[in-house]
Structure 1
Amino acid sequence: MGNVVRLAEVLGALSRALDLTEGQPPGHCVRCCWIGVNIGRAMGLSEQQLGDLYYSLLLKDLGCSSNAARICDLYLADDLSFKNDFKLLDGSLPQVLRFVLSHTGVNTHLAQRFRSIIAILQNGGQIARELVETRCHRGAEIARQMHFSAAVALAIEDLDEHWDGGGKPVGKAGEDISLFARIALLAQVVDVFHAASGRHAALREVGNRSGSWFDPVAVAAFQAVAEEDRFWDMLSRSDIEETVLDMEPGQKAALADDDYLDDIAQAFARVIDAKSPFTSGHSERVAVFTDLIAEEMSFDFSRRRWLKRAALLHDIGKLGVSNCVLDKAGKLDDGEWAAMRRHAELSQAILSRITSFADLSKVAGAHHERLDGKGYPNGLSGEEIDLETRIVSTADVFDALTADRPYRGAMPVSQALAILWEGAGTSHDPACIRALERALRKSELAAA
Structure 2
Amino acid sequence: MSTHHPHALLGADLRSVIYALSDALDLVGIDDLAHGKRVGIMAAECLRSQGVSDEETRFIFDLGLLHDIGVSSTVTHGHLVKEFDWESSQKHCLTGYELLRDFAPLADMAQPVRLHHTHWADLVQRDHDRQVLLQANLIYLVDRVDALSAPHYADGSLLMHTERIRGEISARSGSFFAPELVDLFLEASRSESFWLNLEPRSIQTYLNDMRTRGRRHVMNIGELKQLATIFSRIVDAKSPFTAEHSLGVARLARWLGERCDLPVARCEQLEIAGLLHDIGKLRVPDEILDKPAKLDERERKVMNAHSFETYQILKPIPGFDEIALWAAYHHESPGGDGYPFRVSAERLCLEARILRVADIFQAMAQDRPYRTGLPAEKVAAFMQELVDQGRVDADLVALTLADLPAAMAAAKPAG
TM score, norm. by length of structure 2: 0.85
Query: Is the aligned partner of 1:205 residue 2:160?
Result: no
Partner of 2:27: 20
- Structure 2 residue runs without a partner (length 5+): 1-7, 153-157
Cα displacement (A) at 1:318: 0.9
Query: Is 1:236 aligned to 2:236, yes or no?
Result: no
2:351 is equivalent to residue 391 of structure 1? no
For each residue in 1:136-179, what CA deviation from the matched residue of structure 2 results, as whole angstroms up to 9, or x when unmatched? 1110111123324554111110111122449xxx9999969721
**Deviation readout 1:290-319 (Å, 9 max, x if unpaired):** 011000001001111111111100000111
Equivalent residue for 1:133? Answer: 90
Q: How many angstroms apart in 1 are the aligned matches of 2:395 and 2:202? A: 44
Deviation string 1:240-278 (CA, Å, 9 cap, x unpaired) is 345335338952353323332221111111111111112
Answering whether residue 250 of structure 2 is matched by residue 287 of structure 1, we say yes
Partner of 2:223: 260
Q: Does 1:361 align with 2:321?
A: no
Distance 1:231 1:256, change over 3 A: farther
Distance 1:202 1:62, change over 3 A: farther
Distance in 1 (CA, whole Å) between partners of 2:40 and 2:214 is: 14
Match of 1:155 in 2: 112
Correspondence for 1:191: 146
Once residues 222 and 348 of structure 1 are traced to their aligned partners in structure 2, the CA distance between those partners, rounded to angstroms, is 37
> CA 1:444–1:309 in 2, change beyond 3 Å: closer, same or farther?
closer
Distance, in Å, in 1 between the alignment partners of 2:396 and 2:217 is 38
> Which residue number corresponds to residue 74 of structure 1?
none
Contact 1:344/1:367 (<8 A) preserved = yes
Judging changes above 3 Å, is the alpha-carbon distance between structure 1 residues 178 and 253 closer, same or farther for their aligned structure 2 residues? farther
Deviation at 1:48, TM superposition (A): 4.9
1:5–1:356 contact (8 Å) kept in structure 2: yes
Q: Which residue of 1 aligns with 2:5?
A: none
Kindly state the Cα deviation for residue 320 of structure 1 after the two structures are TM-superposed.
0.8
Contact 2:304 2:340 in 1 (8 A): yes
Counterpart of 1:313 (choices 250, 255, 276) is 276
Contact 1:162 / 1:171 at 8 angstroms: preserved in 2? Answer: no
Indicate the SS of the match to 2:95: helix
Deviates more, 1:5-14 or 1:303-312: 5-14
Question: CA separation in 1, counterparts of 2:407 and 2:284?
Answer: 35
The offset of 1:371, in angstroms, is 1.4
After the TM superposition, which residues 17-416 of structure 1 pair with which residues of structure 2 at under 5 Å, given as runs? 17-23=24-30, 25-43=32-50, 45-65=52-72, 68=73, 79-80=74-75, 83-84=77-78, 86-91=80-85, 129=87, 131-148=88-105, 150-165=107-122, 178-197=133-152, 198-210=158-170, 211=173, 212-238=175-201, 240-241=203-204, 243-244=206-207, 246-247=209-210, 250-252=213-215, 254-416=217-379
How far 1:6 sits from its partner (Å)? 2.8
Count of residues in Structure 1 that have an aligned counterpart in Structure 2: 395
Comparing 247-256 with 214-223, greater Cα deviation is found at: 247-256
Percent identical residues: 30
Match of 2:12 among 5, 24, 29: 5
1:40 Cα shift?
2.2
d(CA) in 1 for partners of 2:105 and 2:346?
Answer: 42
Q: TM-score, normalised by structure 1?
A: 0.79
Does residue 437 (structure 1) correspond to residue 412 (structure 2)? The answer is no
In 1, Cα distance between equivalents of 2:285 and 2:294: 15
| Shift in Å, 1:283 | 0.6
Q: Secondary structure at the match of 1:353?
A: coil
- How far 1:186 sits from its partner (Å)? 1.9
5+ residue gaps, structure 1, are 69-78, 92-127
Shift of 1:234: 2.8
Q: 1:50 to 1:409 in 2, by over 3 A?
A: same
Contact 2:94 2:114 in 1 (8 A): yes
Q: Secondary structure at the match of 1:290?
A: helix
User: In structure 1, what is the equivalent of residue 155 of structure 2?
Assistant: none
Q: Secondary structure at the match of 1:299?
A: coil
Does the CA-based 8 Å contact 2:26-2:32 persist in structure 1? yes
* In structure 2, distance between residues paired with 1:421 and 1:437: 9
* CA distances 1:98-146 after superposition (whole Å, capped 9, x unpaired): xxxxxxxxxxxxxxxxxxxxxxxxxxxxxx64x4333111101111233
- Is 1:276–1:326's contact at 8 Å kept on the other side of the alignment? yes
Instruction: Supply the distance in 1 between the matched residues of 2:254 and 2:161 (Cα, whole angstroms).
Output: 51
